[in-house]
């Protein structure tokens, strides 16, 4: 049986068909404004090229920037009710306090604060009040809002109150969907709550999108299961995407990194994905992207859910070059219009690809216009480009070992063969590494919680966390016997006696079936 | 240190102040972000905060510092109700039978650099241009007031439930010990009002100009970033600081002892420091920088700040990670810290390092 991997990017929709470890075909077609017809075109092309029929496909994995774009463009976000369980604490900074006005307006800016919440050690700040929550639910119903985000203080330590509050409010709001912050974010209430509200506001869009993907696949007679990729390189079934659309944020760079790892067999490496306008540099640890440890800004809002640590620079294949001394490189780019505007294709704009072609590094288009600058000038500009790439790579380096740099993406000819003391590897199919990354997605389970080690030992706490993560992975569709520990970290908490420690742990396994 | 004098804190100043506060956090003290949001809310509601020179206060004026005590990580999760610090202040005023004339910032580094501004805006009092540490330190007796025999007590601790406790202890170290235990019962963090002092006492005891300083530091970093320059050069010139080292973090070793995040990191040189290395010891804050052969480069109470090599953004001891390209920046502490009493309170031996304090300028 065969698998199809899709990556919907800003410019291109890429598709690959894989059989076991082999990439049978990789195709690109322009991303369309409705997304779906681009996906259909790419899959059709891939199936036609390989003469594989739809009934031979066992699964389709899709990576998409759909939901990130909705937030960035403030489109298709639903009015959302934010309910914080905290009183009497946490009144000073209400939900969405640090949001830009336009995005707060896009979700309506509705919030309520109610009794509830826990202390760091699990004690209750106050009990939740059923009458109070019922009254809030009625007020939400009166505003015709059916999307609710609930966030309780210290819910990563104890999520019980968020669950109980949802159950109470559900009685009055039987058709509403509920997002619980403990299922999405980490400690740091504003960032976690922000992520939960954002997630809630995208759930309607998510339902539509999942449905549209299903119909698009059906139109191609693909009746197999399909999955959306999350930003940790693992897969979500359609129910899961409907509940947690934010987990797709930044899945594009993740898929590139995972694909690069798969195509080269390297587990620990730096990956540089050079697109048309920018280069994303990330670090692979044991075949998975290293997660960002600080808060991540999405559309101007601070969030703290799991995201890959990616360093982006404004350098891509279409980056505009002014051959001054020193040359001005970017940040503007002609992007996908390089085929009309790049000098190598008869246009009027000097791009980074012109420089590479002028130096004979790549053989596309016409090298003539770039050569007019003279070899010395071209070399000098290329040295500046190499410097930018080297700095970005050094920044993401994770160990003193000379791990390789994996160069992927359409613009990766810009990457030199050696970066400092690091060798550069260029996989076959480098241009569709992202779609390969989608096709090889696995299933994961994760835990992030504070344990008090005055009652249980560290080993007990770790094994409790691992059991919980494993159960989550199995529930999400992983083969139980394939599950292994991917990452485990325990951070003792500063300023607190009683040996409070925070454990973050993740397991992954192969997809069932 | 030279800095433009800050007369008033308005909304748009808070971004600079929070960044300057993170810088003087010397790796610890918690993220000033929450305090910044609180101050911005209070300023939006009540207008800007006046910043006053300590010499403009009457000798019998009452100056009261307010602060957060406990784990910053807790406060990032359990946000304050909002009026705890005001309640602590009011309880202390009631206990003393006198109204405060000015608010004071006990610690110009980290979260506590911004919280007093929120309080000052909320109660409509001016804030004194100064602080008690000139940086961040982990314990409440580590302030210049202790060197001038000003007692932390009577001290009030308040939580969001409305509890407020008055402490009277025999000395400032005892205040720290008792108060630390109470923060746990309060859920890991509480808001405090302490070190009530007269204008005359404040004139002798405080470290001057701290609010102006953090504002200037934040402004310099933002301006230099906007101009795509590394702020370190301007910071060294303007603040009398020393750029101690440039390099890449090669190792981070963390452990927890007695509720503090202790550890060290090793940085290998880049550029003109190629082939050399330096190590930093930290206990919440960076406390000691020394070369590979053990020669000290900077010692607490002098300030050791770690900055991102590209952006000049301060890096905390919690964020620091393998591969970061950094600048180690040393800043001389206030002369008060360099007295015998100052070294006893916050010198290397108090933190368990077996060496004598030497001035930053003498080491470099």
Which residue of chain B has the CA closest to A501? Answer: B256
Please judge whether B78 and A92 are an interchain contact, meaning their C-beta atoms are less than 8 angstroms apart: no
Q: Could you tell me which residues come within 8 angstroms of residue A374 by beta carbon, excluding any fewer than 6 positions away?
A: none
List the domain boundaries for chain A.
1-76+202-249, 81-194, 313-434, 442-509
Judging contacts by C-beta atoms under 8 Å, the chain A residues touching residue B74 are: 120, 495-496
Q: Which of A90, A98, A398 sits opposite B322 (nearest CB)?
A: A398
Helix and strand numbers (H, E) in chain A are: 15, 24
- CA triple A444-A449-A452, angle to 5 deg: 140
pLDDT at position A362 is 85
Asked if the C-beta of A189 comes within 8 angstroms of chain B's C-beta atoms, the answer is yes
Asked if the C-beta of B77 comes within 8 angstroms of chain A's C-beta atoms, the answer is yes
Judging contacts by C-beta atoms under 8 Å, the chain B residues touching residue A491 are: 254
How many CB atoms sit inside 10 A of residue B319's CB? 15
pLDDT in tens, B164-176: 999 999 999 999 9
Given a contact cutoff of 8 angstroms between Cβ atoms, the answer to whether B107 and B137 are in contact is yes
pLDDT in tens, B104-158: 999 999 999 999 999 999 999 999 999 999 999 999 999 999 999 999 999 999 9
Half-sphere exposure of A389 (CA within 13 A, CB side): 32
pLDDT band for A293, please (50, 70, 90 cuts): low
Written as six digits, the tokens of A87 are 């009183």
Judging contacts by C-beta atoms under 8 Å, the chain B residues touching residue A91 are: 79, 81-82
**In terms of C-beta distances under 8 Å and separation of at least 24 residues, what long-range contacts does A484-487 make, across chains too?**
A484/A508, A484/A509, A486/A286, A486/A288, A486/A444, A487/A285, A487/A286, A487/A288
Given a contact cutoff of 8 angstroms between Cβ atoms, the answer to whether B286 and B214 are in contact is no
Q: Which of A496, A497, A498, A503 to mutate to test the interface with B (most CBs of B within 10 A)?
A: A496
Which residue has better confidence, A117 or A122? A117
> DSSP H helical segments within A78-176, as ranges?
101-106, 130-142, 160-172
pLDDT in tens, B13-69: 999 999 999 999 999 888 888 899 999 999 999 999 999 999 999 999 999 999 999
Helix and strand numbers (H, E) in chain B are: 12, 17
**Local structure of A208: helix, strand or coil:** helix
Q: Which of A398, A400, A492 sits opposite B256 (nearest CB)?
A: A492
Please judge whether B255 and A492 are an interchain contact, meaning their C-beta atoms are less than 8 angstroms apart: yes
Judging contacts by C-beta atoms under 8 Å, the chain A residues touching residue B187 are: 119-120, 123, 125
Distance, CA of B78 to CA of A124 (rounded, Å): 12
pLDDT in tens, A42-57: 999 999 999 999 999 9
Q: Which of A116, A422, A494 to mutate to test the interface with B (most CBs of B within 10 A)?
A: A494
pLDDT at position B259 is 55
Which residues on adjacent β-strands are paired with residue A32? none
Written as six digits, the tokens of B63 are 């100056």
pLDDT band for A449, please (50, 70, 90 cuts): confident
User: Average pLDDT of A292-306?
Assistant: 80
Please judge whether A395 and B323 are an interchain contact, meaning their C-beta atoms are less than 8 angstroms apart: yes
Judging contacts by C-beta atoms under 8 Å, the chain B residues touching residue A396 are: 323
Name the nearest CA neighbour of A183 among A170, A196, A194. Answer: A196
Given a contact cutoff of 8 angstroms between Cβ atoms, the answer to whether B77 and A153 are in contact is yes
User: Average pLDDT of A63-71?
Assistant: 85
Distance, CA of A319 to CA of A330 (rounded, Å): 5
Please judge whether B79 and A125 are an interchain contact, meaning their C-beta atoms are less than 8 angstroms apart: no
> DSSP H helical segments within A66-150, as ranges?
66-72, 101-106, 130-142
User: Average pLDDT of A218-230?
Assistant: 91
Please judge whether B188 and A495 are an interchain contact, meaning their C-beta atoms are less than 8 angstroms apart: yes
Considering just the CA atoms, what is the radius of gyration of chain B in Å?
Answer: 19
pLDDT at A220 over 90: yes
Within 388-447 of A, beta carbons closer than 8 Å to B belong to 391, 394-400
Asked if the C-beta of A458 comes within 8 angstroms of chain B's C-beta atoms, the answer is no
Given a contact cutoff of 8 angstroms between Cβ atoms, the answer to whether A115 and A183 are in contact is no
pLDDT at A495 over 60: no
pLDDT at position A300 is 86
pLDDT band for B274, please (50, 70, 90 cuts): confident
Written as six digits, the tokens of A171 are 């009685």
How many CB atoms sit inside 10 A of residue A265's CB? 10
Judging contacts by C-beta atoms under 8 Å, the chain A residues touching residue B284 are: 494-495
Name the nearest CA neighbour of A196 among A207, A182, A181, A186. Answer: A181
User: Average pLDDT of B326-341?
Assistant: 94
Please judge whether A391 and B70 are an interchain contact, meaning their C-beta atoms are less than 8 angstroms apart: no
pLDDT in tens, B200-244: 999 999 999 999 999 999 999 999 888 877 888 898 888 889 999
Please state the separation of Cα A146 from the chain's center in Å: 26
Please judge whether A494 and B261 are an interchain contact, meaning their C-beta atoms are less than 8 angstroms apart: yes
Asked if the C-beta of A361 comes within 8 angstroms of chain B's C-beta atoms, the answer is no
Q: Which of B78, B260, B284 sits opposite A153 (nearest CB)?
A: B78
**Local structure of A320: helix, strand or coil:** strand
pTM: 0.84
Written as six digits, the tokens of A270 are 């730096």
Asked if the C-beta of B107 comes within 8 angstroms of chain A's C-beta atoms, the answer is no
Minimal CA separation from B111 to chain A, in Å: 14
pLDDT at position A68 is 83
pLDDT in tens, A4-21: 999 988 778 899 999 988
pLDDT at position B318 is 77
Residue in this structure with the two tokens 């607490």, named with its chain if needed: B300
Instruction: Write out B194-210 in H/E/C secondary structure.
Output: CCCEEHHHHHHHCEECH
> What is the average pLDDT value for chain A, to the nearest integer?
89
Distance, CA of A44 to CA of A54 (rounded, Å): 10
Residue in this structure with the two tokens 């020179």, named with its chain if needed: B53
Inter-chain CB pairs, A–B, below 8 Å: 127
Domains of chain B: 8-210 (3.40.1610.10), 230-363 (2.40.390.10)
pLDDT at position B312 is 82
Query: B58 phi and psi, to 5 degrees?
Result: -65, 150
Please judge whether B188 and A119 are an interchain contact, meaning their C-beta atoms are less than 8 angstroms apart: yes
Written as six digits, the tokens of A231 are 């930003």
Distance, CA of B17 to CA of B36 (rounded, Å): 8
Distance, CA of B255 to CA of B28 (rounded, Å): 15
Judging contacts by C-beta atoms under 8 Å, the chain B residues touching residue A498 are: 184
Distance, CA of B11 to CA of B42 (rounded, Å): 9
pLDDT band for A289, please (50, 70, 90 cuts): confident
pLDDT at position A239 is 84
Residue in this structure with the two tokens 């539509």, named with its chain if needed: A208
Asked if the C-beta of B321 comes within 8 angstroms of chain A's C-beta atoms, the answer is yes
pLDDT band for B3, please (50, 70, 90 cuts): low
Judging contacts by C-beta atoms under 8 Å, the chain A residues touching residue B324 are: 395
> DSSP H helical segments within A202-278, as ranges?
203-219, 238-243, 251-264
User: Average pLDDT of A394-420?
Assistant: 86
pLDDT in tens, A156-184: 878 889 999 999 999 999 999 999 998 88
Written as six digits, the tokens of B277 are 């290395």
pLDDT band for B1, please (50, 70, 90 cuts): very low
Supply the DSSP symbol for A476: T
Minimal CA separation from A186 to chain B, in Å: 10
Which residue has better confidence, A307 or A84? A84
Which residues on adjacent β-strands are paired with residue A452? A500
Half-sphere exposure of B6 (CA within 13 A, CB side): 30
Q: Could you tell me which residues come within 8 angstroms of residue A131 by beta carbon, excluding any fewer than 6 positions away?
A: none
Asked if the C-beta of B185 comes within 8 angstroms of chain A's C-beta atoms, the answer is no
**Local structure of A409: helix, strand or coil:** coil
ipTM: 0.87
Given a contact cutoff of 8 angstroms between Cβ atoms, the answer to whether B327 and B305 are in contact is no
User: Average pLDDT of A261-271?
Assistant: 93
**Local structure of A419: helix, strand or coil:** strand
Given a contact cutoff of 8 angstroms between Cβ atoms, the answer to whether B29 and B289 are in contact is no
| Superfamily in which the A1-76+202-249 domain is placed by CATH | ATPase, nucleotide binding domain (3.30.420.40)
Which residue of chain A has the CA closest to B183? Answer: A496
Residue in this structure with the two tokens 């940085």, named with its chain if needed: B267
pLDDT at position A296 is 79
User: Average pLDDT of A268-290?
Assistant: 88
Which residues on adjacent β-strands are paired with residue B330? B242, B304
> What is the average pLDDT value for chain B, to the nearest integer?
92
Distance, CA of B182 to CA of B95 (rounded, Å): 19
Q: Which of B71, B162, B248 sits opposite A494 (nearest CB)?
A: B71
Judging contacts by C-beta atoms under 8 Å, the chain B residues touching residue A90 are: 78-81, 160
pLDDT at position B58 is 97
Residue in this structure with the two tokens 């454990």, named with its chain if needed: A503
pLDDT at position B208 is 95
Percent of chain B with pLDDT over 90: 75
> DSSP H helical segments within chain B, as ranges?
14-24, 33-46, 72-75, 84-96, 115-123, 144-147, 172-185, 199-205, 210-226, 232-239, 340-346, 360-363
pLDDT at A494 over 70: no
Distance, CA of B348 to CA of B356 (rounded, Å): 7
The per-residue b/e assignment along A347-384, b for 16 or more CB within 10 angstroms, e otherwise, is: bebbbbbbbbbbbebbeebebebbbebeeebbebbbeb
């Amino acid at each position: 049986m065969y698998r199809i991997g899709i990556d919907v990017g800003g410019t291109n929709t890429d598709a690959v068909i894989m059989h076991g470890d082999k990439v049978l075909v990789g195709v690109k077609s322009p991303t369309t404004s409705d997304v779906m017809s681009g996906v259909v075109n790419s899959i059709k092309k891939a199936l036609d090229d390989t003469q594989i029929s739809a009934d031979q496909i066992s699964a389709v994995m899709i990576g998409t920037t759909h939901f990130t774009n909705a937030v960035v463009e403030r489109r298709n976000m639903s009015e959302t009710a934010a309910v914080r369980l905290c009183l009497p604490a946490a009144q000073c900074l209400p939900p969405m306090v640090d949001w830009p006005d336009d995005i707060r307006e896009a979700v309506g800016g509705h919030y309520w604060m109610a009794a509830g919440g826990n202390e760091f050690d699990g004690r209750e700040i106050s009990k939740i009040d059923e009458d109070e929550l019922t009254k809030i639910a009625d007020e939400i119903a009166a505003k015709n809002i059916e999307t609710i985000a609930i966030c309780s203080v210290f819910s990563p330590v104890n999520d019980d109150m968020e669950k109980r509050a949802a159950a109470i409010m559900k009685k009055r709001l039987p058709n509403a969907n509920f997002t619980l912050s403990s299922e999405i974010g980490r400690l740091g209430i504003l960032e976690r709550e922000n992520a939960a509200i954002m997630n809630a506001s995208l759930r309607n869009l998510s339902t539509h999108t999942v449905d549209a993907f299903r119909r698009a696949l059906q139109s191609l007679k693909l009746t197999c299961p399909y999955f959306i990729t999350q930003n940790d390189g693992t897969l979500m079934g359609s129910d899961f995407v409907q509940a947690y659309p934010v987990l797709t944020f930044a899945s594009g760079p993740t898929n590139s990194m995972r694909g690069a790892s798969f195509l080269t067999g390297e587990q620990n490496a730096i990956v540089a994905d050079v697109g048309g306008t920018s280069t994303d540099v990330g670090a692979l640890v044991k075949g998975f992207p290293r997660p960002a440890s600080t808060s991540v800004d999405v559309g101007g809002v601070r969030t703290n859910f799991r995201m890959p640590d990616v360093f982006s620079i404004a350098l891509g294949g279409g980056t505009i070059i002014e051959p001054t001394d020193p040359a001005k490189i970017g940040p503007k780019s002609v992007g996908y219009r390089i085929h009309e505007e790049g000098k190598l294709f008869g246009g009027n704009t000097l791009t980074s690809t012109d420089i590479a072609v002028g130096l004979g590094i790549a053989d596309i288009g016409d090298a003539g216009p770039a050569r007019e600058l003279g070899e010395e000038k071209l070399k000098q500009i290329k040295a500046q480009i190499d410097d930018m790439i080297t700095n970005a790579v050094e920044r993401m380096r994770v160990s003193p070992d000379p791990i390789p740099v994996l160069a992927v993406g359409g613009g990766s000819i810009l990457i030199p063969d050696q970066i400092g003391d690091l060798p550069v590897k260029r996989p076959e199919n480098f241009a569709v590494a992202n779609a390969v990354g989608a096709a090889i997605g696995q299933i994961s389970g994760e835990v992030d919680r504070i344990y008090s080690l005055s009652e249980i030992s560290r080993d007990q706490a770790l094994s409790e966390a691992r059991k919980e993560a494993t159960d989550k992975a199995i529930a999400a569709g992983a083969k139980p016997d394939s599950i292994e520990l991917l990452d485990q970290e325990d951070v003792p908490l500063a300023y607190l006696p009683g040996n409070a420690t925070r454990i973050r742990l993740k397991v992954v396994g192969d997809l069932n079936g | 240190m030279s800095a433009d004098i800050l007369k008033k804190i308005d909304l748009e100043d808070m971004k600079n102040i929070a960044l300057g506060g993170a810088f003087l956090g010397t790796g610890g003290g918690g993220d000033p972000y929450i305090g910044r949001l609180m101050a911005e809310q209070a300023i939006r509601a009540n207008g800007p905060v006046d910043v006053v020179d300590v010499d403009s206060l009457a000798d019998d004026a009452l100056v009261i510092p307010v602060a957060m005590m406990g784990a910053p990580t807790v406060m990032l999760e359990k946000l304050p109700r909002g009026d705890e610090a005001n309640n602590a202040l009011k309880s202390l005023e009631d206990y003393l039978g006198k109204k405060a004339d000015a608010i004071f910032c006990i610690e110009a580094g980290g979260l506590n650099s911004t919280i007093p501004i929120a309080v000052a805006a909320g109660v409509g009092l001016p804030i004194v241009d100064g602080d008690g540490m000139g940086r961040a330190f982990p314990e409440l007796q580590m302030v210049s007031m202790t060197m001038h025999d000003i007692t932390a007590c009577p001290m009030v601790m308040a939580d969001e439930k409305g509890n407020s406790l008055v402490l009277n202890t025999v000395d400032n170290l005892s205040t720290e010990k008792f108060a630390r235990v109470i923060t746990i019962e309060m859920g890991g963090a509480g808001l405090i009002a302490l070190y009530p002092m007269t204008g005359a006492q404040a004139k002798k005891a405080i470290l001057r100009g701290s609010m102006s300083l953090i504002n200037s530091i934040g402004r310099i970093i933002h301006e230099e970033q906007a101009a795509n320059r590394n702020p370190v050069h301007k910071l060294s010139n303007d603040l009398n600081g020393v750029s101690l080292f440039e390099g890449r973090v090669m190792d981070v070793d963390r452990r927890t002892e007695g509720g503090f995040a202790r550890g060290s990191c090793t940085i290998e040189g880049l550029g003109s420091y190629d082939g050399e290395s330096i190590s930093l010891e930290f206990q919440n804050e960076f406390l000691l920088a020394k070369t590979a052969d053990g020669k000290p480069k900077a010692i607490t109470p002098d300030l050791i700040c770690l900055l991102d090599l590209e952006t000049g953004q301060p890096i905390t001891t919690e964020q620091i990670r393998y591969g970061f390209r950094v600048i180690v920046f040393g800043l001389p502490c206030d002369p008060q810290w360099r007295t015998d009493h100052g070294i006893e309170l916050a010198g290397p031996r108090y933190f368990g390092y077996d060496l004598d304090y030497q001035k930053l300028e003498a080491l470099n």
